[in-house]
Amino acid sequence: MGRSAMTFPAHGERPLSRKEGKAVTRTRLLDAALAILDDEGEAGLTTTSVTRRAGIAQSSFYVHFADMDDLVHALIDELTVRRLRQVREVRRQARTVPYDADALRATFRVPIQHAVEHPQIFRLLVRSRYDRSTALGEWSRAALEEDRRALVEDLHRAGMPRRTAAQRRRAAMVADGLAGLVEALVLGHLEGRYADVDEMIDVLMAFSTGYFPMLTDSPSAVEAIASAWKQLRASRR
């Protein structure tokens, strides 16, 4: 990073090291790219527009990224990590209060909010996923697979058995089904068909009750789950 792009600390703080300064500039570039995507879409994403928005010299861009594709890859990675961290935390909290409606709703609300906050990124990932000829398509598929693996693991942590190949396969099917439902409803929201996010979550909750019996292979536990969920639904009417 050039000296002119160095971020100076506030009065009384220690000067940033070269490594810290580079990290700050890199973050500014990523934030600028995300803002441009949100405001203008892919068409507005150029090295000139990104560096101007970030307030740094255009030559400094190449200190941090090989090209615009490299920046987009880094942005996808960062957003994926951020989203997964928050989603897995709300799923962990939901496991501590089994069948609590508000906790379960949060497990859907967080990924929906992430998609709605950055619709251009969401559309870009969905559209490019089926392109086998580009690096962006590969990154999009990798992000989807990371989400899928995390959901499968969280389903097992919630109690879904995984001793046999059939049990593991069913967990994967549930994960794919939930991800597909969320994606379809988010697209409907962005297209103006489903304005109410809470109503979307109501539908996702209704679909989700179907896999609850799979959280255990004990008949008595299945009965207990069904009873608990029935009482929960009745209490929210």
3-class state of residue 131 by DSSP: coil
Query: Above 60 in pLDDT, residue 34?
Result: yes
pLDDT at residue 3 in the model = 33
Mean residue pLDDT of the chain comes to 86
pLDDT one-digit tens code per residue, 155-177: 999 888 999 999 999 999 999 99
Interhelix angle 135-157/119-128, rounded to 10 degrees, is 100
The structure tokens listed for 111 are 């990924």
Interhelix angle 68-96/135-157, rounded to 10 degrees, is 10
Q: What is the CA angle 107-151-236, rounded to 5?
A: 30
Region 41-48: what's the mean pLDDT? Answer: 92
Q: How confident is the model at residue 108 (pLDDT cuts 50, 70, 90)?
A: very high
State how far the Cα of 10 lies from the Cα of 232, in Å rounded to an integer: 52
pLDDT one-digit tens code per residue, 197-233: 999 999 998 888 777 777 766 555 556 556 656 665 6
Whole-model pTM?
A: 0.80
pLDDT at residue 173 in the model = 95
Query: Above 80 in pLDDT, residue 13?
Result: no
Q: Which residue is associated with the tokens 């990290």?
A: 23
pLDDT one-digit tens code per residue, 71-102: 999 999 999 999 999 999 999 999 898 778 88
Of 4-8, 115-119, 209-213, the range with the highest mean pLDDT is 115-119
- Rounded to an integer, what is the distance from CA 186 to the centroid of its chain? 12
- List the single range of 48-52, 134-138, 183-187 with lowest mean pLDDT: 134-138
pLDDT at residue 21 in the model = 81
Burial 162-191 (b: 16+ CB within 10 A, else e): eeeeeeeebbeebbeebeebbbebbbebee
CATH of 3-64 given 3.30.360.10, 1.10.760.10, 1.10.10.60, 2.40.50.100:
1.10.10.60
The domain spans of the chain are: 3-64, 68-235
pLDDT at residue 188 in the model = 98
pLDDT at residue 109 in the model = 96
State how far the Cα of 106 lies from the Cα of 94, in Å rounded to an integer: 8
In percent, the amount of the chain with pLDDT more than 70 equals 84
pLDDT at residue 223 in the model = 61
CATH of domain 68-235: 1.10.357.10
